[in-house]
A and B are shown apart, each in its own frame.
Chain A
Amino acid sequence: MSQPLADDPDLALVRACQAQESVCLEGAFRDLYEAYKDRVYNTCYRITGSATDAMDAAQETFATAFRRIDGFRFESRFSSWIYRVAVNASIDLRRRSASRPWVSLDRLRSPLNEGTPMDPQDERVESPGGAASRRELEGDIQEAITRLSPKMKAITVLRYMEGLSYEEISESLEISLGTVKSRLSRAHGALDRELTPVLDRHLLN
């Protein structure tokens, strides 16, 4: 068994969770949840493209991570591990959702269009038309991401939205650095195909 990563910022918190008697949303588990809930939810939302699926995937991520935390040996950073769980949960859930025959209403009522804290600020600096245009662009970008393959989605989200380094991505997805690089280059090829037309259209408009 390898030595725990001494530089893991979550070391103490994870140890506290491992020492806690019951797995519940209290104490150290609550702290860990608060520290990661937004990162996990964002990752799940960007991969699934659906608020409903993101909720389910995020819940499954935390439930899995908390139940298995006793077996966590710090062979990677906790953040990398929970990202891995979140990515896998999102891809699995997306795969199951793909067989659903209906169209998600999330496209019509995405979290971006709900009353998020950023809205008041946006309204101060943007005209209503500008805000609508920005939201449309964001929705189109999200759709372009959703059309990528699961592997491309995962690496794109972790790299450009969660801002993970190559090493962290390597840990999270359990792939080599070389695979990270080659997968990123293929992801940009896919983004050329899916995202560039969207950006061109919005620039033209």
Chain B
Amino acid sequence: MHTTSKNPSHLPEPCSEWLDACIASLGVDSVKEGSFSEHLGSCPACAAAHGRYRIQAAKLAGLPRLSAPHLLEQSLGFALTPGGRQDRVLAALSALPRREAPGALSHQLVETLAGDFADEDILRAPAALDGLVDQSLRDLAAERTAVRVTGSDLQSTRSTQAAPPTGRKLRAITALAAAAILIIATDQWMSAPEASYSFTVVRGNDAGPLQPHQLAMLAAVTGRQCSSLGEGSQ
């Protein structure tokens, strides 16, 4: 009697009552059962299954025998030695090849130590720097003009402005000075033929050629102390 095929490939399966005999006949302790041989002759399903199983068994048995690798003995030796696993790990780590530092590293280090900043660092200065410098120079010119008009030191003017109002006269002078500053600065601004100024690129702690008020302004803008790096004009 044939078993119902549960094989997805729909290969014919042997009769269930002959299945054990069919499989037993494949192996090393196969028994030549006369009755099974007779059944094979009369049952195509069992004959087909027996043929397939025989090929499967032959292919499996025909796979090459492998020799245990020499490394197995070494690793087993480590495993059997107390602390051998740790020694094995340490040996593996210490056996890792040491690599030489690439030539580019020393070159890069020399460049870094020789100059604080390479050209590309300077080029990365914010674009707004030009505008800030320009504005500071215009403010400075206006401030100096105002000093001349009022005939007093700018510092004293600032002190006066900072001080609390002491009288009508003082308030009038202050208003006059402010108006004069505004008028003169506007006149200079409008009459300037073309914007022209010099600039200085600064960084670090070197004061360089900058004036204290320039340094103070840049410090306020950048939030750090500045020093001169280079100069130019535009």
Contacts and interface: CB of A to CB of B under 8 A. Distances in A.
Contact of B23 (A58, A111, A118, A181): A181
Given A37-B72, A42-B65, A25 B29 contact: no
Interface stretch (A11-19, A71-79, A93-101, A183-191): A183-191
B79 A37 contact: no
A185 B27 CA distance: 13
Interface residues of B, number: 38
Contacts, number: 116
Contacts of A58: 68, 72
A38 B67 contact: yes
B71 A161 contact: no
Q: How large is the interface on A (under 10, 10 to 19, 20 to 34, 35 or more residues)?
A: 35 or more
A170 interface: no
A199 to B, nearest CB: 6
Contacts of B76: 25, 33, 59, 62-63
A122 to B, nearest CB: 9
Interface string A124-167: 00000000000001100110010000000000100111011110
A189 B11 CA distance: 10
A46 to B, nearest CB: 7
Contact of A116 (B28, B53, B67): B67
Interface in A27-68: 33, 37-38, 40-42, 45-46, 51, 55, 58-60, 62-63, 66-67
Contacts of B72: 37, 41, 55, 58-59
Interface in B42-64: 52-53, 55-57, 59-61, 63-64
A197 B9 contact: yes
A59 B75 contact: yes
Contact of A160 (B13, B27, B73): B27
A195 B56 contact: yes
Nearest to A164: B28
A199 B59 contact: yes
A199 B23 CA distance: 19
A196 B52 contact: yes
A191 B56 contact: yes
Nearest to B26: A160
B56 A165 contact: no
A24 B81 contact: yes
A189 B80 contact: no
B152 interface: no
Contacts of B55: 199
A23 B79 CA distance: 11
A141 B67 contact: no
Nearest to B67: A38
Given A181-B23, A188-B23, A59 B65 contact: no
A112 interface: yes
Interface in B66-86: 66-69, 71-73, 75-77, 79-81
B66 A38 contact: yes
16 contacts: A25-B76, A25-B80, A38-B65, A40-B68, A41-B67, A42-B66, A46-B63, A58-B72, A111-B69, A160-B56, A160-B61, A161-B60, A161-B61, A193-B8, A196-B11, A199-B56
Given A38-B65, A38-B67, 15 more contacts: A24-B77, A59-B72, A63-B79, A67-B80, A111-B66, A112-B66, A138-B64, A160-B26, A160-B56, A160-B61, A191-B56, A193-B7, A196-B9, A197-B9, A199-B55
* 3 closest Cβ pairs, A-B complex: A41-B68, A160-B60, A37-B68
